[in-house]
Amino acid sequence: MKIDLNLTPMDQWIEGVKLPLIIGGPCSAESEEQVCATAKLIKEHTDIQILRSGIWKPRTRPGSFEGIGVKGLQWLNKAKEETGLLTATEVATPEHVELALKYEIDILWVGARTTVNPFSVQAVADALKGVDVPVLVKNPINPDLALWIGALERINGAGVTKLGGIHRGFSAATGSKYRNDPTWSIAIELKRLIPDLPIVCDPSHIAGNRDLIEPITQKAFDLQMEGVMIESHLDPDNALSDAKQQITPQRLGEILNDVVIRHGESDNTDFEIKLKELRSDIDKIDAELIETLAQRMKIAEKIAEHKKDNEITILQPGRYDEIMENRVAQGKKVDLKESFVHDLYELIHDNSIKRQTAIMNGEG
């Protein structure tokens, strides 16, 4: 079911700001010199219009750099004065909102550690009542789409219509190449449920290291996300927070130059005709697939009846192993990835067991 939010299109958020919305700047404001010098380099090496900087840093463990506090807002204003860049910062409490508004920060965002807590989100939402400022809501740390949507609903409920999401990935298992697993499907599902909600990707917090920022940025644009937020520091190795993932403004300029922004639609009719043809092929195959799955389920039901009559258990693990091995091998021959065939058959088998259980218990 679609979710109805009252949204202002992103191109009407701030006059003169171009889309895709590109935000760059340090993870944290550390000193006036660092904020202003980074802003100048960003201005020099990129077309970015919005400077980010964390002032209050929610850290997982105490003892690391927890942000410079309100004086950082003055540094952001100084950088704005010197470069013309608009400013963005994270807010986590009503007091943060009040101060950020007092210092006329242009865009606010709610961090991943705040989105997980509906009480905190509601407190921030209440502080935003009657204020016309764009707000971006990061996904919660855990892969819980409902929690992300809930936060967006609370902020929108307070009357904020210049609202978007930030996809910053989800707590990853140890051993993952990402700091936070992108699990793109969650961002795609959010877009399906709220098509008008702009989503900005945060490759820095997904990557956790410099090497992955470019491919993640490219992927975000390929998925037609409305923007990116990338951490950039004049001296990344010596940054007080997230040093490993920050890049120099020079490197940021190169990445933004190298990524290709493909179009979502085309005015080339040959392209459109060919695309229509291919899509109609897919539709036909999908109809056959559904029909085949239904037939398979009917046979599974017959097997259940047969097992019931003969008092045999539903699950025979040997058979399951045999199916899995055999289908994965068949898949390999036609270039289907092992993990794909495996996951698919897990789903099919699981559903078939559920159906058979219902029949066995006379609920069929």
**Which of Mn ion, ligand PEP, none lies near 138, with the C-beta cut-off 5 to 8 A by kind?**
ligand PEP
In the bound complex, what is the minimum distance in angstroms from residue 26's beta carbon to Mn ion?
Answer: 8
**Closer residue to ligand PEP, CB minimum distance, 27 or 216:** 27
Interaction of residue 136 with ligand PEP, rule CB under 6 A: no
Position of minimal CB gap to Mn ion: 27
Q: Does 111 bind ligand PEP (CB under 6 A)?
A: yes
Among 55, 91, 112, 314, which residue sits at the site for ligand PEP (rule: CB under 6 A)?
112
Chain residues that interact with Mn ion, rule: CB under 5 A: 27, 242
One-letter-per-residue 3-state SS of the chain: CCCCCCCCCHHHCCCCCCCCEEEEECCECCCHHHHHHHHHHHHHHCCCCEEECECCCCCCCCCCCCCCCCHHHHHHHHHHHHHCCEEEEECCCHHHHHHHHHCCCCEEEECHHHHCCHHHHHHHHHHCCCCCCCEEEECCCCCCHHHHHHHHHHHHHCCCCCEEEEECCEECCCCCCCCEECCHHHHHHHHHHCCCCCEEECHHHHHCCCCCHHHHHHHHHHCCCCEEEEEECCCHHHCCCCHHHCECHHHHHHHHHHCCCCCCCCCCHHHHHHHHHHHHHHHHHHHHHHHHHHHHHHHHHHHHHHHHHCCCCCCCHHHHHHHHHHHHHHHHHCCCCHHHHHHHHHHHHHHHHHHHHHHHCCCC
- Please give the residues from 171 up to 200 whose contact with ligand PEP meets the rule CB under 6 A: none
Among 27, 105, 137, 359, binds ligand PEP (CB under 6 A): 27
Binding part of the chain for ligand PEP, among 106-114, 281-289, 309-317, 338-346 by CB under 6 A, reads 106-114
For Mn ion, the closer of residues 89 and 218 by Cβ is 89
From the list ligand PEP, Mn ion, none, pick the one residue 111 interacts with, judged by a Cβ distance below 5 to 8 Å according to partner type. ligand PEP
Residue from the set 45, 80, 138, 154 that interacts with ligand PEP by CB under 6 A: 138
Among 15-23, 78-86, 108-116, 327-335, which window interacts with ligand PEP (CB under 6 A)?
Answer: 108-116
Q: Write the interaction track for ligand PEP spanning residues 51-70; mark x where CB under 6 A is met and - where it is not.
A: ---x----------------
Q: Is the CB of 26 or the CB of 253 nearer to ligand PEP? A: 26
Residues in contact with ligand PEP by the rule CB under 6 A: 27, 54, 90, 111-113, 138, 168, 205
